[in-house]
């Protein structure tokens, strides 16, 4: 008798729940300052990200948005302040630790493994969830084999979700930009993250690709219940997608609230219109 | 077949086998270069160190005996009859892994995000340190290494090939060293195993990921430090294999570390980032060297084997600087 | 295991009856495969039987009755194929619909067919059906296959196929399937089996009613003609609403018992076909054209050695490939070279295209370019042509093995009678496959089907000396130039379209002093050519208007004129003037039908200024054209289109008749 895989349910994450109730703070950024040499990138910034929401971080160029994301996932270590993620307070975290705790991200300039296939790229997203000993892997038997197959199945679900079956075996370096962005999202999803950080997921896309990407982001948020923090330049997209927005300018927080509140905030309007500071 | 043609085949085969040995060393370089962008000058010395350790464990030498004797005035050399070969190899491997760990912990970890040239300098330092440390630990005398691999010419092959030549020809069959044959087999197994490992396992995937893009690798939760330990351990393992092969062939001594220099033209030919490149490059250099020695050597007075490879590499640099299989390097200006 | 309730000795006459039989006689053979999550899932005939029974019992529970029409909207997925049989088992009538048609097109069919239920593939199709619900008064239930995106739908009449199947399985568990089997046994060959709406080039689609006898007898004849049995494998990738797919992926599969494979998604068909290596394959000429273009583009980009090897062996294959395939005598040296070529070139090529297991391949629907046709034949592929219609349950004529011509469509299929109308040259046929009639359209039925059962094909053609049918054009399209010369637009267009650089051509000339054409460049092929020749361009429009492209088109048109000059009937209708259109003809703009055929009259209206310019002697013309984007928004593109004058060739045909 054959076994037929036909999901009667939509694909959902299997990662055990992180214990935070929907609407409670998942991540709290408290009084963070970061500087490079003498240059201050971020000054005394605090905000929180609630479980289940889509949180946008916006601001003019050089406002410190990407730096903020890099602090959250451990690429940069702030000189001051703490980050509380899933109730655990810490001041510095290495990137791979952040990943292990359920923070996945994409990059502004796409950081995929260009020489590897789409499938392999997304499989790397599951590295934090594959715990079998390297020796088992070397033998490719027993538990490691089972683990590989289980993880492959989940990755196939993600490939299906993102509708990229037809490029499964293609090296990502050969794909057009829009598809690479989608593969990168796939790799981040493969980690079944509690918090998904998206750094300008729609940069450089045409209108149709943007609409596709928005749909995927909303689907991820609703279907998987994943909390998402995103940086985006396209204001239309930000206001449509996000539940709450935090606005940075010159490394400082100048606004925080619902899209409507932020839209009417005078400081924000000034920042975007380029009213000179001090 | 005429004896001249049979001779050609013999030289060709011997060239291939010598080439495999070069490939083995080059492989160690490529592994580390791909994963961390470091040109590991110490790869040759690692082979020497591995071979020294193996001999020491096999013969039951007491490490640092000279030092101990000099300080404490004792006269100890051996602690017993030594370990069986298999156990000795296993233990040497443990030592190499420990070396990789120590290296990561005390050297590489402090040099993260430094210029490649700095890291290269660090490996030069490492090479000299390891050489001295090896001497100190196991003594500087020439040692013989025997792990039980067959050696000497294959009579069977001689007989077979003898029959290929015409009855009346003055031909006595081909000489092929059995040690070379074992080396070839071991190298093939090693490379196959390595490529299977990197293609089909999660750790292999992580290795490839790190080789491709550090930042992205970090973001998916790969610990660079762990990967570096693994890579240097694998490089240590490859060095051990190379050390065993070269050591069995020509004894364990300082000159063993110079095989690293032989790997350079191989790398230039094959490219620094390509494992198949290291193999094919090694074979080309091996065959080219032997053929040149046999057919061009006599015309110019012989002994061109030592520098022929470098000339080939130099010529190659002019036409294809990225190597046969290497990634094309285009710097936008 | 299914219990056969069939009356002993009675041959099955409906597909549900064949399902029951196959579950017994092919108990260990695979009936269907589907690639899903990267793995080929498979169902044996008994498993298929169980799935369909569960589905069918579930549908019965939902209230589906004999005579009810059910729309099936979606692409080639197993559950949609099962729905055919599950509906027919209850005496219902499936009405497959083109999945890519826009809501307005679909609403007409669903309304006209009075469907009570719609079975949709996914959210997209469900949305389409729900959006026109207020017009569909008879529609009671909507089912869907893929659950994705359906979580927020709370309509009470919306069900997943899974839930229906689960319900059906429960019913079977509690009360068995005796009554269900009995109902299947009562099925008669004369019963209405399916309604297929033809996307005619003019007017509203018509619902062609086909009986089980029509389909089963045609399928059995087809199986016998090509020696198809339970060992075949096909890949289902053509629209479900198209009669070809209904015959090849359903009727023939059930009667012969072979395996139908559904691709993972429409984008993966080529890859999936390679993995399956079908033994029986069907494609319209366009598919073969695209495949060949892809190969040629790839070869242009390949290394020198590879390219030389390819050219050399392909030249050899063109010389001896077809004779070998036809079983004609060929010298040993040539055979050996062909054999080497098989290993080095033909084999890998066939594997890449997914044809390495091919036993019989068919092309139909339109004329195929002789060069393209020969290319595949030369590789040793048994590619044949057939001529068919929805109204005939496909088969009218087909080429028997060994009697293959690029320019004919073969001999009458088994049990088919053909006659040519003497006045109009129109082809008429009569066969067991002839349809019952058009649904709710007796007038159209009467004008198409005579009282003696002859059906008008609407195509003009003739039999050649060997008894093969040759089709020239649509009977109503064949016209006359002002000087009385015969003008067969399709014939000229096809000759043009056989050039890989020309995607589409539209010829004008009826009642006019001479023949003129619109051309559409083939973007894939011309773009690759442009890249090789360092021609830069920013858009389709710019490329189409490029002087070098025009020069290339001139050469092609000249070549066609030379060919026309060599044919007695056609020498008078050579192309005098042509232009390259600034936009691609598109089904979304109504310029092509959903099956990618040119809508001649629509184009004549839409581009009237351009046609006038072709006849008033001007050398260029500025036009603005409205286009509809995929998301339904409208836009305008403006361009100045250049017109080129061509030389006429002196007639060069050999006057056979005079001798």
The three-point CA angle C206-C209-C213 to 5° equals: 155
Token readout for A137 is 């892997």
- From the CA of B222, how many Å to the nearest CA of chain A? 5
pLDDT for C657 beyond 90: no
- From the CA of A4, how many Å to the nearest CA of chain C? 6
Cβ proximity of C226 and C385 under 8 Å: no
| Facing residue for A138 by CB, picked from B197, B206, B217 | B197
pLDDT for B330 beyond 60: no
Give the pLDDT of residue A235.
79
> Tell me: the pLDDT tens digits for B291-306?
888 888 788 777 777 7
Give the pLDDT of residue C421.
85
Helix (H) or strand (E) holding B63: none
- Structurally, how many domains does chain B consist of? 1
pLDDT for A248 beyond 50: yes
pLDDT for C90 beyond 90: yes
High-pLDDT (> 90) share of chain C, %: 58
Nearest C-alpha in A relative to B197: A138
State how far the Cα of B209 lies from the Cα of A138, in Å rounded to an integer. 17
Q: How many CB atoms lie within 10 A of CB B145?
A: 22
Mean pLDDT of chain C: 89
CB contact under 8 A, C151 and A6: no
* Residue labelled with tokens 């993250």: A193
Helix (H) or strand (E) holding B317: helix B305-319
Report the pLDDT averaged over residues C191-212: 87
- Give the residue among C559, C565, C579 at the shortest CA–CA distance from C517: C579
> Tell me: the pLDDT tens digits for A134-185?
666 666 666 777 888 888 888 998 998 898 988 999 999 888 888 999 999 9
Chain A CB contacts of C42 under 8 Å are 2
Q: How many CB atoms lie within 10 A of CB C659?
A: 5
**Helix%, strand%, coil% for chain A, nearest 5:** 40, 25, 40
Give the pLDDT of residue C176.
92
Give the pLDDT of residue A138.
66
- Read off the pTM: 0.74
Helix (H) or strand (E) holding A202: none
Residue B328 lies in a domain: no
Nearest C-alpha in B relative to A187: B220
Q: What is the DSSP letter of A88?
A: E
Give the pLDDT of residue A51.
92
SS (H, E, C) C442-503: HHHHHHHECCCCCEEEEEEEEECCCCCEEEEEECCCCEECCCCCEECHHHHHHHHHCCCCEE
Give the pLDDT of residue B300.
78
Residue B15 lies in a domain: yes
**C304-325 and C370-378 are packed helices; what angle lies between their axes, rounded to 10 degrees?**
90
Give the pLDDT of residue A186.
95
CB contact under 8 A, C147 and A8: yes
| Facing residue for C264 by CB, picked from A153, A165, A208 | A165
- Give the residue among C197, C110, C71 at the shortest CA–CA distance from C594: C197
Residue B326 lies in a domain: no
High-pLDDT (> 70) share of chain C, %: 96
Asked whether C and B share 3 or more beta-carbon pairs under 8 angstroms, the answer is no
Report the pLDDT averaged over residues C140-159: 89
End-to-end CA, chain C:
71
Chain A CB contacts of C43 under 8 Å are 2, 4
Torsion angle of alpha carbons A249, A254, A257, A261, nearest 10°? -100
Chain B CB contacts of A134 under 8 Å are 201, 203, 230
Give the pLDDT of residue A225.
86
Give the pLDDT of residue C2.
45
Query: Chains near A, with 3+ CB pairs < 8 A?
Result: B, C
Q: How many CB atoms lie within 10 A of CB B116?
A: 12
User: What are the residues whose beta carbons fall under 8 Å from the beta carbon of C328, sequence distance 6 or more?
Assistant: none
Q: 220-259 in B: which are within 8 Å (CB) of A? A: 220-224, 230
Nearest C-alpha in A relative to C33: A4
Give the pLDDT of residue C571.
80
> Tell me: the pLDDT tens digits for C257-269?
999 999 998 889 9
Give the pLDDT of residue C262.
95
Q: 304-343 in C: which are within 8 Å (CB) of A? A: none
Confidence of residue A14 (pLDDT cuts 50, 70, 90): low
> Tell me: the pLDDT tens digits for C54-66?
999 999 999 999 9
Q: For residue B101, what are the domain limits? A: 3-319
CB contact under 8 A, C37 and A163: no
Give the distance, in angstroms, between the CA of residue A277 and the centroid of all CA atoms in the same chain: 32
pLDDT for A277 beyond 60: no
Confidence of residue C658 (pLDDT cuts 50, 70, 90): very low
- Coil vs helix vs strand at A5: coil
Chain B CB contacts of A138 under 8 Å are 197, 201
- From the CA of C48, how many Å to the nearest CA of chain A? 11
Chain C CB contacts of A168 under 8 Å are 38
pLDDT for B171 beyond 80: no
High-pLDDT (> 70) share of chain A, %: 88
User: What are the residues whose beta carbons fall under 8 Å from the beta carbon of C645, sequence distance 6 or more?
Assistant: C576, C577
> Tell me: the pLDDT tens digits for C627-655?
776 666 777 888 888 999 998 888 876 54
Cβ proximity of C66 and C59 under 8 Å: no
Report the pLDDT averaged over residues A230-236: 84
Long-range residue pairs from A171-176, CB within 8 A, at least 24 positions apart, any chain: A171/A114, A171/A115, A171/A116, A171/A117, A171/A118, A172/A112, A172/A113, A172/A114, A172/A116, A172/A117, A172/A118, A172/A121, A173/A114, A173/A115, A175/A118
Confidence of residue B18 (pLDDT cuts 50, 70, 90): confident
> Tell me: the pLDDT tens digits for A175-217?
888 899 999 999 999 999 999 999 999 888 888 888 889 999 9
ipTM: 0.81
Q: How many CB atoms lie within 10 A of CB B132?
A: 12
The number of CA neighbours under 13 Å toward the Cβ of C52 is 33
Long-range residue pairs from C112-115, CB within 8 A, at least 24 positions apart, any chain: C112/C197, C112/C204, C112/C205, C112/C207, C112/C439, C112/C440, C113/C69, C113/C71, C113/C195, C113/C197, C113/C207, C113/C439, C114/C69, C114/C138, C115/C69, C115/C70, C115/C71, C115/C139
Mean pLDDT of chain A: 85
Chain A CB contacts of C58 under 8 Å are none
> Which is higher by pLDDT, B312 or B89?
B89
The class that CATH gives domain A15-102+199-204+231-278 is: alpha beta
Chain C CB contacts of A2 under 8 Å are 41-44, 47
The full set of domains in chain C, from first to last, is 15-276 (3.40.50.12780), 283-474 (3.40.50.12780), 479-645 (3.30.300.30)
Report the pLDDT averaged over residues B174-180: 84
Cα–Cα distances in Å, from B158 out to B5, B13, B171, B182, C363? 15, 13, 10, 17, 62
Judged by a CB distance cut-off of 8 A, whether residue C298 touches chain A is no
pLDDT for C568 beyond 50: yes
- Give the residue among B327, B276, B285 at the shortest CA–CA distance from B306: B285
- From the CA of B330, how many Å to the nearest CA of chain A? 16
Give the pLDDT of residue C95.
97
Cβ proximity of A125 and A193 under 8 Å: no
State how far the Cα of C383 lies from the Cα of C282, in Å rounded to an integer. 9
Confidence of residue A1 (pLDDT cuts 50, 70, 90): very low
Judged by a CB distance cut-off of 8 A, whether residue C123 touches chain A is no
Residue B185 lies in a domain: yes
Helix (H) or strand (E) holding C507: strand C502-508
> Tell me: the pLDDT tens digits for C475-527?
887 888 888 787 888 888 988 988 889 999 999 998 899 999 999 999 888 98
Chain C CB contacts of A10 under 8 Å are 147-148, 151
pLDDT for C6 beyond 60: no
Judged by a CB distance cut-off of 8 A, whether residue C596 touches chain A is no
- From the CA of C15, how many Å to the nearest CA of chain A? 24
State how far the Cα of C519 lies from the Cα of A119, in Å rounded to an integer. 42
CB contact under 8 A, A94 and B203: no
Give the pLDDT of residue A47.
94
Report the pLDDT averaged over residues C208-236: 95
State how far the Cα of A231 lies from the Cα of A108, in Å rounded to an integer. 9
SS (H, E, C) C349-418: HHHHHCCCCCCEEEECCCCCCHHHHHHHHHCCCCEEEEEEEHHHCEEEEECCCCCCCCCCCCEECCCCEE
Q: Picking from A216-225, B318-327, C36-45, which range would have the lowest pLDDT averaged per residue?
A: B318-327
- Coil vs helix vs strand at A248: strand
Cβ proximity of C284 and C363 under 8 Å: yes
Give the pLDDT of residue C111.
94
| Facing residue for C37 by CB, picked from A8, A9, A160 | A160
Give the pLDDT of residue C85.
97
If you write DSSP's letter for every residue of B232-248 in order, what string do you get? Answer: HHHHHHHHHHHHHHHHH
Task: Provide the total of helices (H) and of strands (E) in chain B, helices listed first.
Answer: 14, 0
Judged by a CB distance cut-off of 8 A, whether residue C36 touches chain A is yes
Q: How many CB atoms lie within 10 A of CB B115?
A: 9
Q: Picking from A118-127, B87-96, B223-232, B291-300, which range would have the lowest pLDDT averaged per residue?
A: B291-300
pLDDT for C656 beyond 60: no
């Amino acid at each position: 008798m054959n076994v037929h895989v036909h999901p009667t349910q939509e694909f959902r994450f299997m990662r055990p729940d992180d214990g935070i109730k929907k609407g409670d703070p998942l991540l709290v950024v408290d009084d963070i300052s970061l500087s490079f040499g003498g240059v201050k990138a971020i000054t005394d910034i605090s905000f929180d990200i609630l479980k289940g929401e889509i949180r946008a971080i916006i601001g003019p160029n050089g406002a410190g948005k990407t730096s903020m994301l890099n602090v959250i996932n451990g690429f940069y270590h702030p000189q001051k302040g703490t980050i509380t993620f899933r109730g655990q307070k810490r001041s510095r975290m290495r990137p791979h630790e952040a990943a292990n705790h359920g923070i996945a991200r994409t990059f502004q300039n796409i950081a995929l493994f260009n020489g590897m296939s789409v499938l392999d790229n997304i499989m790397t997203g599951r590295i934090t969830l594959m715990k079998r000993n390297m020796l088992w892997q070397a033998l490719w038997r027993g538990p490691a084999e089972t683990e590989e197959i289980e993880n492959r199945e989940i990755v196939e679900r993600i490939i299906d979700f993102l509708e990229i079956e037809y490029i499964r075996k293609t090296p990502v370096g050969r794909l057009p930009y829009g598809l690479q962005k989608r593969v990168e999202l796939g790799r981040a999803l493969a980690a079944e993250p509690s918090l998904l950080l998206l750094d300008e997921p729609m940069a450089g896309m045409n209108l149709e690709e943007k609409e596709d990407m928005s749909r995927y982001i909303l689907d991820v948020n609703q279907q998987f219940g994943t909390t998402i923090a995103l940086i985006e330049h396209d204001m239309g997209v930000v206001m449509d997608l996000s539940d709450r927005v935090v606005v940075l300018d010159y490394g400082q927080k100048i606004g925080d609230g619902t899209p409507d509140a932020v839209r009417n905030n005078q400081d924000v309007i000034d920042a975007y219109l380029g009213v000179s500071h001090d | 077949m005429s004896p001249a043609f049979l001779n050609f085949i013999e030289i060709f085969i011997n060239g291939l086998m010598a080439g495999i040995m070069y490939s083995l060393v080059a492989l160690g370089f490529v592994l580390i270069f791909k994963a961390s962008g470091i040109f590991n000058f110490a790869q040759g010395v690692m082979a020497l160190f591995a071979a020294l350790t193996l001999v020491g464990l096999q013969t039951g030498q007491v490490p640092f005996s000279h030092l101990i004797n000099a300080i404490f005035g004792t006269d100890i050399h051996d602690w017993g009859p030594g370990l069986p070969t298999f156990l000795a190899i296993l233990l040497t491997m443990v030592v190499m892994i420990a070396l990789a760990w120590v290296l990561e912990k005390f050297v590489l970890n402090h040099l993260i995000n430094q210029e490649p040239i700095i890291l290269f300098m660090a490996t030069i330092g490492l090479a000299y340190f390891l050489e001295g440390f090896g001497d100190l630990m196991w003594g500087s005398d020439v040692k013989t290494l025997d792990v039980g691999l067959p050696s000497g010419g294959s009579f069977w092959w001689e007989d077979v090939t003898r029959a290929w030549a015409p009855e009346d020809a003055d031909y006595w069959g081909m000489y092929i060293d059995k040690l070379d044959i074992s080396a070839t087999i071991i190298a093939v197994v090693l490379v196959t195993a390595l490529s299977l490992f990197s293609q089909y396992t999660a750790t292999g995937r992580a290795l490839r990921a790190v080789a491709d893009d550090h930042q992205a690798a970090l973001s998916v939760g790969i610990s660079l430090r762990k990967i570096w330990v693994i890579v240097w351990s694998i490089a240590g393992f490859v060095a051990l294999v190379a050390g065993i092969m070269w050591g069995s062939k020509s004894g364990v001594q300082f000159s063993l570390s110079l095989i690293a220099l032989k790997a350079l033209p191989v790398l230039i030919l094959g490219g620094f980032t390509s494992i198949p490149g290291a193999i094919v490059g090694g074979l080309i250099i091996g065959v080219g060297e032997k053929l040149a020695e046999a057919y061009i050597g006599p015309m110019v007075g012989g002994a061109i084997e030592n520098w022929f490879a470098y000339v080939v590499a130099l010529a190659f640099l002019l036409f294809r600087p990225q190597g046969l299989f290497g990634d094309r390097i285009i710097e936008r200006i | 295991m299914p219990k056969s309730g069939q009356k002993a000795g009675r041959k099955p006459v409906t597909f549900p009856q064949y399902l029951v039989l196959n579950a017994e006689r092919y108990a260990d053979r695979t009936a269907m495969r589907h690639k899903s999550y990267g793995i080929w899932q498979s169902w044996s005939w008994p498993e298929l039987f169980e799935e369909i029974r569960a589905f069918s019992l579930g549908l019965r529970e939902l209230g589906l009755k004999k005579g009810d029409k059910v729309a099936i909207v979606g692409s080639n997925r197993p559950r949609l194929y099962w729905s055919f049989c599950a509906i027919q088992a209850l005496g219902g009538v499936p009405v497959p619909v083109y999945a890519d048609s826009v809501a307005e097109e679909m609403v007409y069919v669903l309304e006209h067919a009075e469907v009570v239920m719609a079975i949709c593939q996914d959210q997209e199709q469900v949305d389409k059906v729900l959006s026109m619900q207020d017009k569909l008064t008879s529609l009671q239930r909507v089912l869907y296959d893929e659950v994705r995106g359906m979580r927020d739908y709370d309509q009470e009449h919306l069900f997943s196929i899974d839930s229906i199947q689960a319900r059906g399985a429960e019913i079977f568990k509690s009360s068995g399937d005796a009554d269900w089997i009995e109902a299947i046994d009562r099925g008669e060959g004369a019963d209405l089996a399916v309604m297929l709406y033809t996307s005619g080039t003019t007017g509203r689609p018509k619902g062609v009613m086909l009986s089980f006898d029509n389909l089963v007898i045609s399928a059995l004849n087809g199986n016998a003609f090509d020696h198809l049995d339970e060992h075949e494998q096909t890949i289902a990738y053509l629209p479900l609403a198209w009669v070809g797919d209904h015959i090849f992926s359903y009727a023939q599969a059930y009667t012969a018992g072979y395996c139908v494979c559904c691709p993972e998604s429409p984008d993966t068909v080529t890859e999936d076909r390679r993995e399956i290596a079908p033994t029986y394959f069907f494609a319209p000429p366009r598919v073969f054209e695209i495949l060949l273009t892809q190969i040629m583009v790839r070869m242009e980009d390949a290394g020198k050695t590879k390219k030389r090897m390819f050219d050399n062996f392909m030249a050899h294959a063109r010389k001896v490939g077809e004779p070998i395939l036809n079983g004609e005598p060929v010298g040993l040296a040539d055979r050996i070279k062909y054999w080497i070529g098989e290993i080095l070139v033909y084999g890998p090529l066939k594997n890449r295209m997914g044809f390495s297991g091919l036993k019989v391949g068919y092309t139909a629907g339109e004329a195929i370019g002789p060069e393209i046709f020969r290319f595949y034949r030369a590789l040793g592929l048994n590619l044949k042509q057939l001529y068919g219609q929805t109204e005939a349950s496909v088969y009218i004529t087909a080429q028997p093995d060994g009697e293959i011509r690029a320019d004919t469509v073969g001999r009458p299929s088994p049990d088919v009678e053909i006659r040519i109308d003497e006045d109009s040259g129109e082809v008429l046929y009569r066969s067991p496959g002839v349809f019952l009639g058009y649904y709710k359209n007796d007038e159209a039925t009467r004008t198409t089907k005579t009282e003696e059962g002859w059906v008008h094909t609407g195509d003009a053609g003739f039999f050649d000396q060997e008894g093969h049918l040759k089709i020239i054009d649509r009977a109503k399209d064949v016209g006359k130039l002002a000087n009385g010369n015969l003008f067969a637009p399709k014939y000229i267009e096809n000759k043009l379209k056989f050039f890989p650089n020309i995607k589409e051509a539209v010829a004008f000339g009826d009642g006019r002093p001479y023949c003129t054409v619109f051309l559409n460049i083939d973007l894939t092929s011309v773009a690759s050519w442009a890249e090789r020749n360092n021609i830069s361009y920013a858009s389709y429009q710019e490329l189409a208007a490029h002087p070098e492209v025009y020069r290339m088109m001139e050469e092609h048109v000249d070549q066609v004129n030379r060919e026309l000059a060599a044919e007695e009937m056609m020498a008078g209708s050579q192309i005098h003037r042509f232009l390259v259109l600034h936009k691609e003809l598109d089904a979304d703009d109504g310029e092509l039908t959903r099956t990618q055929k040119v809508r001649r009259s629509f184009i004549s209206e839409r581009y009237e200024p351009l046609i006038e310019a072709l006849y008033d002697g001007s050398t260029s013309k500025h036009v603005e054209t409205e286009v509809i984007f995929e998301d339904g928004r409208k836009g305008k593109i403006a361009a100045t289109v250049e017109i080129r004058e061509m030389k006429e060739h002196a007639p060069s045909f050999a006057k056979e008749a005079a001798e």
